Amino acid sequence: MARSSLREFQERLARRLAEARTAERRGLLGFQCGSEHWLIELAEAGEILPSPPLSTVPLTRPWYRGLANVRGTLYGVVDFAQFNQQAPIVPAGRARLLLVGARHGIHCALLISASTGLRSHEDFEADPVPDPRPWVARRWRDLQGRPWLQIDVARLLAHPDFLDAGLE
């Protein structure tokens, strides 16, 4: 039994080392929010984790889902689909918290429908159609023609609509 566990550990370690080598070429993380597919630069993305229990905050907009305690640090949680005028995400199943903003000194987490894995810029072609949302850095199309939106975290975190989570 111990030999099997050691073998499984070695296999997992070998897989992770191989993935780390290819991650250098795969500089984007894909995720889904409602019906939209999104991309974020790996340098902008933090940890992805299952949603811990959320503490609601009164008198906030519906898309501001509350606070999450992640290893002793509080993160403000935004339902990214609902923020983008889609149906709210249920924080269960494949839903995840994507921690963003650490590079900007902000503890923010986006509640996303699902993580879709690492991607490469070579997997996409630029889509010239502009998006009216200022936090969309660019639009892409994958090899199947499916549209993807690349998020600009700095613009999102600085946008007045995003910063105004309180009810009026």
Least confident of 8-22, 63-77, 109-123, 143-157: 8-22
- In order of their start, the domains of the chain are 27-163 (2.40.50.180)
pTM: predicted TM-score of the whole model, two decimal places? 0.83
Give the residue-averaged pLDDT of 106-110.
96
Give the residue-averaged pLDDT of 125-147.
95
Nearest to 139 by CA among 125, 154, 157, 123: 125
Model confidence at 52, in pLDDT bands (50, 70, 90)? very high
Give the residue-averaged pLDDT of 28-54.
95
Give the residue-averaged pLDDT of 107-122.
96
Model confidence at 10, in pLDDT bands (50, 70, 90)? confident
DSSP code for 127: E
Say if CB 151 and CB 140 are below 8 A apart. no
Model confidence at 68, in pLDDT bands (50, 70, 90)? very high
Between these two residues, 102 and 80, which has the higher pLDDT value? Answer: 80
Residue 141 identity: R
Other beta carbons less than 10 A from residue 40's beta carbon: 23
